[in-house]
Structure 1
Amino acid sequence: MTATLIDGKAIAERMRNETKAEAATLAAAGWAPRLVSVSVGDVAAAELYVRNQQKQADAAGVAFEARNYPESTSLEQLIGVLQGLNADPRVNGIIIQRPLPAHIPVKALQKIVHPLKDVEGMHPSSIGNIVYNDLVLGPCTAVAAVEILKTLPLQMEGLNVCVIGHSEIVGKPIAFLMMGLGATVTVCHHMTRQVAVHSRAADAVFVAVGKPGLVRGEMLKPGAALIDIGINRVEGKTVGDADFASCAEVAGWITPVPGGVGPVTVATLMNNAVLATRMQMDHYRAAFTAVG
């Protein structure tokens, strides 16, 4: 192995320490950050995520409440729940856990969460702000992946970047975030011909497709940074979208799976929680402060 392993857990810990300090400052001002997690039906699939979020929230000084609703809950009832959370000044962030029952379209719920409480960065306005390089509460996984790249000794301006995967919440936001930093970005997807031609020309490669072993060492430029965002289960093990062994022989830096983007994503969620709390505090103060 020639690549330097990127320690996502260490990056997450640094972020968490900063978040904890900010959370303490807000709590002293009477605005202790508080998250509410909303899940519907059988929570087994989301239980690990919720448990991890609870643990990370505790470490970051953010209050966390998990709410589970019966699978029979209607879309209209859930919209009412979210509207109540939007109106509650004691709630600073809302997380919608996936998967949801078939009769509950996740996008319909994401549109209901108030943009100031959208700590997941999934509201259309949060996604749209990235196009204008106005990153307030961005989608956590995309922001985390870019933050990891920024820790490396690479100059973002003019960097050749290849993004493999163009989902609305990961691939596309990464592309816009990197363009905002001055990088030259190529986005590859399932209709791209000869992905390797593009990835081999890149100084940094992000991959988020959901196909284990998709990126191999021969697809990388020697010394390039590889940020693997994929999460797949293969023979009882969690692996990414890259063939780690072959890629590690070529890349200059590589994120492990697990232990790479995942911990930084949760740390970004907690950072978004304190950012959202501060924005709400400023909003309420501006709205209700008497003008002399």
Structure 2
Amino acid sequence: MILLDGFQVAQDRNLTLKKEIDQLKVDGKRLPHLAIILIGENPASLSYVKGKGKACDLVGIKHTLHKLNDQVSEQEVIDLITSLNEDKTIDGMILQLPIPKHLDEVKLIDLISKNKDADGFHVVNQGNLYQKRPTIEPATPKGVMSLLKTYHIDPMGKHAVVVGRSNIVGFPLARLLMDSGATITVCHSKTKDLSYHTRQADILIAAVGKAKMITKDMVKEGAVVIDVGVNRVDGKLVGDVDFEEVSKIASYITPVPKGVGPMTINALIENTYELYKMHNL
């Protein structure tokens, strides 16, 4: 079994990006700038935002945190997003999810300019992805694909099974894997006999948010296993995969933490830099 070390791969990619940002400093140019909107005090969100800030600091990308209380009105959030859309010094923007239920998540995400959509969630950017047009790819799927490429795992001709169909991870990741030549099966809460499908997978992606849902008996020996899930159990972070058992039969597997999470953050700051270049052609 080979561990897919997302932490190290992300670190290497971040340092490569840092060299480009350092050159911008030498040339006296404006630096890329990411705006992060955080609503409420969700502990996981606070942790994610902290990690994103650290990565920005490492590579030299400016970042500004706009922290709002969980009783904020939708109009106040709309006004903030509109202001950031109009601010020419802001290259990328993200709305940290989840947000309070009284706010319309889809409406607010689509209000972010598609040209500042660092998460790749805007309906136009998602549409471009499904039409195979150049776009800002969603951060987690992009990070997963970068990780596979780094370890020379080619999806071409492989059977990839994605468990989870969210617009943030499962659905776009299935699209990217398909574009890479894989045959795709997407499973979800209504799938009958989930184990039958997961055992067919050469590449198995777990992205449902249920701790240790994927057990050893659900995985084909020699499969590549990518665990996108992040769950807190007894104060510890665990994935959707029973890592201890599944790692005994997988050929490659990501850990939780330090697997997909760092790759997601790396993809986010790479997206911010891509948006910066679009704004400074």
- CA distance, structure 2, for counterparts of residue 135 and residue 250 of structure 1: 37
Number of the residue aligned with 1:163: 162
Greater mean alpha carbon deviation, residues 35-44 or residues 170-179: 35-44
Structure 2 residue 4 is matched with structure 1 residue 6: yes
Cα distance change on mapping 1:68 and 1:154 into 2, 3 Å: closer
Number of the residue aligned with 1:258: 257
Q: How many residues align?
A: 280
Q: Secondary structure at the match of 2:175?
A: helix
Greater mean alpha carbon deviation, residues 253-262 or residues 73-82: 73-82
| CA shift digits 1:157-206 (9 cap, x unpaired) | 21111111111110000100011111111111111111222221221100
Q: Which residue identity lines up with residue 131 of structure 1 in the other structure?
A: Y
Q: Secondary structure at the match of 1:67?
A: strand
Greater mean alpha carbon deviation, residues 101-110 or residues 200-209: 101-110
- CA distance, structure 2, for counterparts of residue 153 and residue 51 of structure 1: 31
Give me the TM-score of the superposition, normalised by structure 2: 0.94
| CA shift digits 1:11-65 (9 cap, x unpaired) | 1012102221232344536231001111234465532222111111000110011
Q: Which residue identity lines up with residue 257 of structure 2 in the other structure?
A: P
Cα distance change on mapping 1:79 and 1:181 into 2, 3 Å: same
Number of the residue aligned with 2:55: 56
Q: Secondary structure at the match of 1:39?
A: strand
Structure 2 residue 220 is matched with structure 1 residue 215: no
| CA shift digits 1:62-110 (9 cap, x unpaired) | 0011111344432122212111111111011112123323321221110
Greater mean alpha carbon deviation, residues 183-192 or residues 66-75: 66-75
CA contact (8 A) 2:212 2:242 kept: yes
Cα distance change on mapping 1:136 and 1:23 into 2, 3 Å: farther
Number of the residue aligned with 2:278: 279
Matching of residues 171-250 of structure 1 within 5 Å: 171-250=170-249
CA contact (8 A) 1:26 1:278 kept: no
Q: Secondary structure at the match of 1:163?
A: strand
Greater mean alpha carbon deviation, residues 14-23 or residues 112-121: 14-23
Number of the residue aligned with 1:118: 117
- CA distance, structure 1, for counterparts of residue 210 and residue 159 of structure 2: 23
Q: Which residue identity lines up with residue 31 of structure 1 in the other structure?
A: R
Number of the residue aligned with 1:288: none
Q: Which residue identity lines up with residue 165 of structure 1 in the other structure?
A: G
- CA distance, structure 2, for counterparts of residue 25 and residue 154 of structure 1: 32
Pick aligned residue for 2:19 from 15, 21, 32: 21
Greater mean alpha carbon deviation, residues 248-257 or residues 25-34: 25-34
Moved over 6 A (4+): none
Cα distance change on mapping 1:254 and 1:120 into 2, 3 Å: same
Greater mean alpha carbon deviation, residues 43-52 or residues 166-175: 43-52
CA contact (8 A) 2:201 2:219 kept: yes
Point out where structure 1 has 5 or more consecutive residues left out of the alignment.
283-292
Larger radius of gyration: 1
Number of the residue aligned with 1:290: none
CA contact (8 A) 2:148 2:154 kept: no
- CA distance, structure 2, for counterparts of residue 227 and residue 52 of structure 1: 21
Q: Which residue identity lines up with residue 171 of structure 2 in the other structure?
A: K
Aligned-pair identity (%) = 35
CA contact (8 A) 1:149 1:227 kept: no
Cα distance change on mapping 1:250 and 1:99 into 2, 3 Å: same
